[in-house]
Amino acid sequence: MEKKMGDYTRVDRKLVKKARIFDMYEDTIILPDGREAIYDYLEHKGAAAVIPVLEDGRILMVRQFRNALDRYTLEIPAGGRNSTSEDYMVAAARELEEETGYKSEKLTHLVDVRTAVAFSNEKIAIFVAENLVKTEQHLDEDEFIDVKAYTIDELNSLIKSGAIEDSKTISSIMAYQILHI
């Protein structure tokens, strides 16, 4: 299973834990100076996120409880792919409707983000959803999500004040302003 990566060589990868949203591995790496090191690696199926834009330019955000932080967060709608073969746009469309109760007649790719490059391969593909059509939420049985619309100025203020800390949300809002508006 040896794999050369520039000056680094992975000589072993052991599955430590198979979890619901990722698999955890312990990698044995030969460093450029010849020493051996153990790296933790989380393998993730990938995820998709959406910036849902209403006709008046406001953006729909979701407020939900996050167990890892022991509190509620304000985020753009997002969720994991069902498999590594699921198209990111399909996942984005599904998560948009599940979490917000809206479908999009115009879903376009904005940017991809890597959430934790030091220990995970997780990729989140970010899309902009326009021409929204109201349907209804289809939440997972463990989800309780509130949806509210915000202007870009309100979101910038929430980011600046620290009220929004989620990295995918911050990077997506910034990329939206730079690349889409």
Q: Hey, is 141 helix, strand or coil?
A: coil
Q: Residue 181's pLDDT is what?
A: 67
pLDDT of residue 68 exceeding 70, the answer is yes
* Burial state string for 5-41 with b = 16 or more CB within 10 A and e = fewer than 16: eeeebbeebeeeeeeeebebbebebbeeeeeeeeeeb
What are 28-42's pLDDT values in tens digits? 999 999 999 999 999
Name the DSSP letter for residue 131: E
Residue percentage of the chain with pLDDT more than 70: 99
What are 127-181's pLDDT values in tens digits? 999 999 999 888 778 878 899 999 999 999 999 999 999 999 999 999 999 987 6
At residue 3 the predicted structure's pLDDT band, cuts being 50, 70 and 90, is confident
At residue 97 the predicted structure's pLDDT band, cuts being 50, 70 and 90, is very high
pTM of the predicted protein model: 0.90
Cα separation, 101 vs 94, in Å, equals 10
Cα separation, 5 vs 29, in Å, equals 10
Q: Where are the alpha helices (DSSP H) in the chain?
A: 88-100, 152-161, 167-179
**CA 28 remoteness from chain centre:** 28
Catalytic residues: 141
Residue percentage of the chain with pLDDT more than 90: 86
**Region of poorest pLDDT, from 20-24, 53-57, 124-128, 171-175:** 20-24
Q: Which domains does the chain show, CATH number per domain?
A: 3-44 (no CATH), 47-179 (3.90.79.10)
